[in-house]
A and B are shown apart, each in its own frame.
Chain A
Amino acid sequence: MKRQIPLIIVIGLGFLFVAHTFIPSKTSVDFYDWWVSWSKAISPFAVVLGILSLFMVHGTKIQRKAPNWQYSVVTLLALVVTAFSGFAWGTNEGTPFLWLFANVQMPMSATMFSLLAFYIASAAYKAFRAKSPQATVLLLAAFIVMMGQVPIGAAISKWIPETAQWILNVPNLAAKRGIATGVGLGMTATSLKILLGIERTYLGSD
C-alpha cells in the first residue's frame, strides 16, 4: 500500500490531464485550477528537502569530526547567514542579501564553470586523437565550426564562416534531427510508462 496509493494518484491524475488536454470544458478547467492551487501550496516545502539534506551531510561530518570537517562549518554558517540576511533585511536591491549574491555567489559560481576552459584545452592536447577516419571527420568539423565562429576565421576567408554555417545547417541538422527524434520518442515512451505505472523509480526504493 505504501507504493500503490501514490501510484494510483499518479495514474488517476495523469489520465485526467490527458482528458484535460483534449477536452476543453468547464469541468476540465476547474480540475486544472484545483490542481494548480494545490500544487502551489505543496511547492514551497520542496526546498526543505535541500536544506535538510545539506544539514544532514555536513552536520554528521562536524559531529564525527570527519577529515576537513571545518569546511562543513563554513557551508552551514554561509547558509544560515545568507538566509538570515534575507529574512532580516529583505531581498531587494541594496540589501546585504543581494550583496552576498552579487559578490560571493555570482563570481564563484561563474569562476567554477570557467575552470572548464582550462580542462578542455588540456584535453585537446592530451586526449583528442584522430585515431580513425570517423574521429578525423569529427575533428575537422570541429575545426571549421570553431574557426567559423570567430572574427579571425572570417578575416582569413569568407568561406570559413559560410562552410561552418553549412555544416550546422545541413549535416549537423540531419544528425541532431535523427537523434532528437529518437530522444523525443524515448521521452514520450518514458512518460507513457510513468502514466501507466510501469516506470516507478521516481518513487524511490522500499
Chain B
Amino acid sequence: MNLFEKMKNIDRRYIYLVVALCIIIPLLIPFNSRTYVTDPTANLYKKIDSFAGKEDKAVLLSFSHDASTMAELFPMEVSILRHCFERNIKVFTICFSPPAAPLMAYALNVAKEDYPNLKSGVNYCNFGYKPAGLFLPIVLGMGDDVAEAVQTDADGRKIKNLEILKGIRNYDDLNLIIDFAASAAVFSWITYARVRFGANVAAGVTAVMAADNYPYLQSGQLVGMLSGLKGAAEYEKLVDVFAAYEDTEYPNGREFSPEVVKDTWVPIMSKKISYDSQGSVVQTNVDLPYKFKQARIGMNAQSIAHIMIIVFIILGNIGYFLTKKKTAEVS
C-alpha cells in the first residue's frame, strides 16, 4: 500500500482533529487581517445610514432563525443594531418563531450595553414574538398602520402610545425591513411587503443561502445583503470606520465613502489606533469590545479553515488520480 492509498483510507477522526486544530489555533493566536467589503453589504449600510437622525424613518429587524445558526447571524444583528444606535436611527425588532424571541432580546441587550442613554420605546422597540399565524396579518397590516397591526410590544405595552411611533405609520416610514434567516424567509417579505406596498427589503442570511439571492439583489428586490460571518465582519468594519468613528474632525461619526472603505482597515487586536493603506496612524475610537469584532476574529480562523478544505480537496484528488492511473496500468 503506497502513501496515497494509505492517505485515502485514513480514519476520518484524524481529519476531524485537523479541522479542530485549524479553528482553535488561529482563534488562540490572534492576528490582524483586512476585510474586503462587498457591494451588497455596503449598499445595506448606506441605506440604513440614510435614515440617520430622521424622525420619520425606521428600520425593522425580523429574526427568523434559531440558535443553530447564531454563529453567523448574531454578529451581524449586533453590528446593525450598533449602527442604528450610533447614528440615532429608530429600530424595531420582531420575530414569528418561539426560538427566535430570546435571541432577539439577547442581541438587543448586547448591542445596547454601550449606549446607556437609549430608551426602549423611544430609540428602539422590541415588538417581541408574534405567533406564525399572525405573519401575514402583521406584514400586510403594517402597510396601512404599524401600531394597529402589531398592537403590543414585548413588554405588553400598546405601541401606539410609544414615543418611537411618532412619525412612523406604515412602510413609507418603516422603510427598511431586514430579515435574518437561515432559510428563504426573506421572500415572504418580498412577496407581501414589497410587491404590495413597495417596502425596501434586505437580508442577513447564512452563507448557504447567499449565492441564491444574487438575482434578487440585481433586480433590486433586495436592497442589500449580509452573507454569513463574512457579511457580519464587513458590517463590523463599516460601523467602525464610519458610524462609530471619532476624531476632532468627525466627533460623531462620518458619512460613508467608498474610497475610505478601500483604504482604511481596523486592526482588531490593537486599541484606539487604526492605520490607513499608507501606514500612517489614524486616531479612532477603536477600543473595541469583543462583541463588536467577534466576526472579524472568527474570519481569521475561517481563512485557515478554507485553505485546509482546499488542501483536502487537492490531496484527495491527487490520491484519486494516482490510484486510477495505477489501476489502469495494472489492467
Contacts and interface: CB of A to CB of B under 8 A. Distances in A.
B250 interface: no
Contacts of A126: 8, 12, 316
Interface residues of B, number: 57
Contacts of A130: 317
Given A101-B102, A106-B70, A147-B310, 7 more contacts: A105-B67, A106-B67, A109-B68, A113-B68, A121-B19, A126-B12, A176-B213
Closest 3 CB pairs of A and B: A43-B133, A151-B33, A152-B303
Contact of A173 (B134, B215, B304): B215
Interface stretch (A5-13, A59-67, A161-169): A161-169
Contacts of A39: 133, 137
A142 B307 CA distance: 12
Contacts of A200: none
B15 A121 contact: yes
B64 interface: no
Given A128-B313, A129-B317, A165 B102 contact: no
Contact of A114 (B71, B133, B306): B71
Interface of B: 8, 10, 12, 15-16, 18-19, 23, 33-36, 38-39, 66-71, 99, 102-103, 105-106, 131-134, 136-137, 207, 211-215, 218, 228, 230, 299-300, 302-310, 312-313, 315-317, 320
Interface in A141-165: 143, 145-155, 158, 161, 165
A197 B324 CA distance: 54
A48 interface: no
A191 to B, nearest CB: 12
Contacts of B34: 151, 154-155
30 contacts: A36-B137, A40-B131, A40-B134, A43-B133, A93-B105, A102-B106, A105-B67, A109-B67, A109-B68, A109-B99, A110-B68, A110-B70, A118-B16, A118-B19, A120-B309, A121-B312, A129-B320, A146-B309, A147-B306, A149-B207, A150-B230, A150-B299, A151-B300, A152-B306, A153-B306, A154-B36, A168-B214, A169-B218, A176-B215, A180-B215
Nearest to B213: A176
Contacts of A145: 211
A87 interface: no
B313 A149 contact: no
B211 A124 contact: no
Contacts of B133: 39-40, 42-43
B214 A176 contact: yes
A147 B317 CA distance: 19
A177 B16 contact: no
B211 A43 contact: no
